[in-house]
Chains A and B, each alone.
Chain A
């Protein structure tokens, strides 16, 4: 199975800040990388697919980049509704696997 890791596991930031989350795959997955946001008690929601394509309806302050084994999710100008947990997921091959998550908290 392809192992996904994320860093940091948690971070604190303020409204208006810019933050970056990193995701690494244990083997090359080209651009088959998705990002999700999950709020407490809710299902994850798709933010970005194919490493950098914004899902319809997702604000443009979210962006993604990367290729191969290393990927980043960047959120610029943090808004109060952005504080949540973020997961990466590889869609290169089954079994699809997820990272352990990065919890973004308000400073």
Chain B
């Protein structure tokens, strides 16, 4: 059974960096059959995919254009986890942030089959 456990602060000041960590159990961040994503949810934006990291003989990242200049998602193989760093935050970045596994089965269809518990993050001074 895969489990994703999120951690990180719930309050970030404007212009600072939002940092969250997702610890994986039951799978490996280096697996060739999944990608590790961050998604956020807010009343104004709904569910918004932010980006992912994945390993296919080497590490790759994909990011949403809306945050591409501010986001970094990093794997940490020694701790079997991955992290989100979003810099220069504004109140518009206030949301619940989720880490998820995007599993690629033998049928080649991807799906977010495991989610972290969610971290409500407020950007405010």
Interface set of A (CB-CB < 8 Å, partner B):
1, 31-32, 34, 36, 42-46, 49-50, 53, 55, 87, 89, 91, 94-101
Contacts and interface: CB of A to CB of B under 8 A. Distances in A.
Majority-rule SS of B interface residues = strand
26 contacts: A36-B112, A43-B116, A43-B118, A44-B98, A44-B112, A44-B115, A45-B115, A46-B111, A46-B113, A49-B111, A50-B107, A50-B109, A53-B109, A55-B111, A89-B47, A91-B109, A91-B110, A94-B52, A95-B62, A96-B37, A96-B49, A98-B47, A98-B48, A98-B49, A100-B46, A101-B47
B108 to A, nearest CB: 9
Contacts of A49: 109, 111, 113
B107 A98 contact: no
Given A43-B115, A95-B65, A101 B109 contact: no
A76 B111 CA distance: 23
Nearest to A31: B109
B112 A46 contact: yes
B49 A95 contact: yes
Contacts of B111: 34, 46, 49-50, 55, 91
Nearest to A92: B110
A2 to B, nearest CB: 11
B61 to A, nearest CB: 11
Contacts of B116: 43
